[in-house]
Amino acid sequence: MKISTNHRYSHNTGTVYSVFTDTKEIRDKQKALGARKIRVLECERDTDGAIVRFVRELPAEVPGILSRFLQPWNSVEQSERWRSLDDDIFESELTIDIANVPVTVVGTLKLKPLEDGCVNQVRLVIECGIPFVGKSLAEFVAADCKRLIDAEYKYIIGRLASA
């Protein structure tokens, strides 16, 4: 399963990048998205970019057939390695690990300037190798990722508007 979406912002890449790479911003955003037990394990900026790792519990409305794999609350760790590229472009490789769930989620985020702000190009790949229910599990995780990506975008738009 692949997710590909572009989020446009009326702010420059540096401003949006700071929302993704600041400990307080990460905690506030995750709380607004309904997460609990949020722990930022690492959030360090350097001259090359930033390393961000955080864990939180996210709720899931799990259909019966998938309840063997997912719980009503699931521990999710997200790791991002941001790189600062030329021309005010920031790119991140990311992995998302859902504890005890046999699904891999990997992808990229790429902040690129536009004349009137910037765009965040979000690309994710969700895979599950389990026969029979694997496709359903990957589809469920992909749908939930899409829901969270959309909610995060709305949150960041609101957050930047109030700054």
Name the pTM for this structure: 0.93
pLDDT (0 to 100) of residue 147: 95
Q: Does 162 score more than 80 pLDDT?
A: yes
Angle formed at CA 160 by CA 155 and CA 163, multiple of 5 degrees: 130
- What's the pLDDT tens digit per position in 42-87? 999 998 999 999 999 999 988 888 988 899 999 999 999 999 998 9
Residue-range domains of the chain with CATH: 2-161 (3.30.530.20)
Q: Which pLDDT score is estimated for 151?
A: 97
- Token pair of 147, please? 């829901």
pLDDT at 64: 86
